[in-house]
Amino acid sequence: GSMSSLRVADAFVVKYSAAGGQTELNPHRDGSVLSFNIALNDMGEFTGGGTWFRSLDRSLRIDRGQMLMHASGVLHAGHPITEGT
């Protein structure tokens, strides 16, 4: 296939906040072929977090501006943050 056949099927921003906001995202599978996570905050601005993968039994953390790509059918979650935003 050609790169011109790629498209964004769904895009959303999740803001995690340990002070009474959303702190995590439950395990799920996305409804596309590939998923991309782009960190908008420096890792020093929060404690915890990252993208948890069942197959790895761990979370992967990325720093601001970095991107994590994975197959959308892989079970993953937003690992809870305990401090910060």
Q: What is the mean pLDDT of residues 19-42?
A: 94
Alpha-carbon span 36 to 69, nearest angstrom: 4
* Amino acid letter, 51: T
pTM here is 0.86
| pLDDT score, position 1 | 61
Alpha-carbon span 60 to 46, nearest angstrom: 14
Specify the range with the lowest mean pLDDT, choosing from 3-7, 31-35, 48-52.
Answer: 3-7
Question: Contact 55/49 with Cβ under 8 angstroms?
Answer: no
pLDDT, tens only, 36-75: 999 999 999 999 999 999 999 999 999 999 999 999 999 9
Tracing tokens 């993208």 back to the chain, one arrives at 51
Alpha-carbon span 53 to 3, nearest angstrom: 27
Q: How confident is the model at residue 9 (pLDDT cuts 50, 70, 90)?
A: confident
Alpha-carbon span 16 to 20, nearest angstrom: 9
Sequential DSSP letters for 3-21: GGG---S--------TTTS
